Amino acid sequence: MLKPWLAAFSRTSPLLPAKKRLGLAVGSAVLCAGTAIAGAPGAALAATADQAPTQSVAQSAGQQEAEPLTYGLDVSNYQPDFDWNTSPAQFGIIKATEGLTFTDKSFARHWQRLGKKGIVRGAYHFAHPDDDPVAEAKHFLAVVNSQPAKPGDLLVLDLETTDGESVSHVNAWAKTWLAYVKQQTGITPMFYSSWNFANRYGAGLEQYPLWVADYNGARGQISAPANWKTWTIHQYTDSPIDQNVSTLSVAQLRSLGRKTA
C-alpha cells in the first residue's frame, strides 16, 4: 500500500508518480495489543522530519474503544511473519498479487492464519494500468482461488500508479478490472487508493466500496473524494504498519464479501 514518501501527498497535490512504487517498505513488525514496536526501515525511503511520530497499534486500538469504528490492518510480503494471534485487528487485508505474474510469497501464510483466527479477511491486487486489466484480474483470481475460501472474504483492487497512462485510460482500466472480478465472483470488489488519486481517477467507480488512504486527516474523520458519498475503510497511517478503521461493523464488512465458501 502507500509508503512513507506518499504520506506527504495532500488532497491538493498533483498525481502520484507514474511508475512503480519507489517503495522499500517497513520491515516485518510484530505488534500486539499491549506493545508498540516500530517497524524496521528496510530499504524504504526515510520518513521526512515533519511526519507525525510513530503511533502504536495498542494506542490505536485503545482509541477505537471510544469510537464506533472497526479496527483493521493490511500487510504484504514486507511483513511476512506478522503475528495475527496477538493483534487487536478485527479485519485483515493481504496483498495477493501484482501485475501479470507477481504473487506475494507471504499471501498463503497470512490467508491461512486469518482463516484460523476467524476475523474478516480480504485479498488485494496491486494494479499496473499499462497491462491488460482482464489478464491481471485473472492472475489475481487464480491465486486467491487457490486458497480455501470463507463467506465474507473481501476482494480489493489497489490502484495507486498510472504507469504513464492518461486519466481516461486509468479510469477505464479500473472499470474493466472491477467489472470482470464482479462478474466472475459475484462479489463487488473494494477500490483502494489515496484520496487524491481516487479523486482524479475514480469517476464512475462509486458503486465500489471505497478504501481510501489519507494520512493527513484525523483517524476516521475524513470526507470522501469526488464521486463517493462516503468511504468504507480509512487507512490513516502506515506507521509502524498500515492501520485502518471502518465505519462498518464486522458483520457489515462480511456482507461485502463472498456469500458462500
Q: Return the exposure string of 29-67: e unless at least 16 CB atoms fall within 10 Å of the residue's CB, then b.
A: bebbeeeeeebeeeebeebeeeeeeebbbbebbeebeee
- How many Å apart are CA 138 and CA 184, to the nearest integer? 9
Coil/strand/helix, residue 122: strand
Average pLDDT over all residues of the chain: 82
pLDDT value at position 67?
A: 57
Could you say which residues of the chain have pLDDT below 70?
A: 3-67
pLDDT value at position 68?
A: 86
- How many Å apart are CA 210 and CA 231, to the nearest integer? 5
pLDDT value at position 1?
A: 76
Write a three-state SS string for 196-209. Answer: HHHHHHCCCCCCCC
**Number of other CB atoms surrounding residue 223 within 10 Å:** 13
Which class for 179: exposed (0-12), middle (13-18), buried (19 or more C-beta within 10 A)?
middle
State CA 212 to chain mean position distance.
Answer: 8
Question: Please, what are the domains in the chain?
Answer: 55-254 (3.20.20.80)
CA distances from 57 to 6, 69, 241 (A): 20, 15, 8
The DSSP symbol for 244 reads: E
pLDDT value at position 261?
A: 84
Coil/strand/helix, residue 143: helix
pLDDT value at position 45?
A: 24
